[in-house]
Amino acid sequence: MKRGIGTKIVSINHVKLEQRVIERANKIKCDVDAKFEVINKKPQWQDYVPVVSACQSNRKKRIFYGETGILTAKKTERLLKRVLVRALGPIGEISTRTHCKFPIGHCAEPHAANNLLKVQQTLASLNQIYFSESRRPRTGEVIPPCENCITVFNNVIS
């Protein structure tokens, strides 16, 4: 067992998670806007990501981020892959078990969870992962989780 994982339970600081996801969304916006506003040079366009999310496990204080994007089965951590496939269907496809129109594993939440699981590989359950509310970098809006994420993650803000 890796040091520090498995025994100690840390309390989830939701206020900090919320602050950090706002900071992250703001940073993404600033980075994209900075590239757009290049003066005297050809501006390099970069599209915004629609949603950014943050998560933390109840084992460590480190916060992990995820953005909407393609998640391939190959890059998905074993625990997450198992839960996604069992609950929703093959990763990257539209689930026939929910009404969600987004491909499985596509949202910011599974990306954040996957990034966490890459580092904290001894987590036994996805219920040990807690999420911030998700934000849209362009507008700063709070984005409610989709049906897929509510199905898979017990501790997603719904």
Encoded tokens for 147: 């049906």
At how many degrees (to 10) do helices 108-119 and 78-87 cross?
150
User: Are the C-beta atoms of 20 and 6 separated by less than 8 Å?
Assistant: no
**What is the C-alpha separation between 34 and 57, in angstroms, rounded?**
33
Residue ranges that bind another protein, judged by CB under 8 A:
12-15, 18, 26, 29, 33, 36, 42-43, 45, 47-51, 68-70, 102-103, 106, 130-131, 133, 136-142, 144, 155-158
> What number of residues does the chain have?
158
CB of 14 to another protein, least distance (A): 5
CB of 132 to another protein, least distance (A): 9
CB of 68 to another protein, least distance (A): 5
Which one, 13 or 115, has the nearer CB to another protein? 13
Encoded tokens for 26: 């703001």
CB of 8 to another protein, least distance (A): 18
Which one, 5 or 13, has the nearer CB to another protein? 13
Which one, 40 or 96, has the nearer CB to another protein? 40
**What is the C-alpha separation between 131 and 56, in angstroms, rounded?**
7
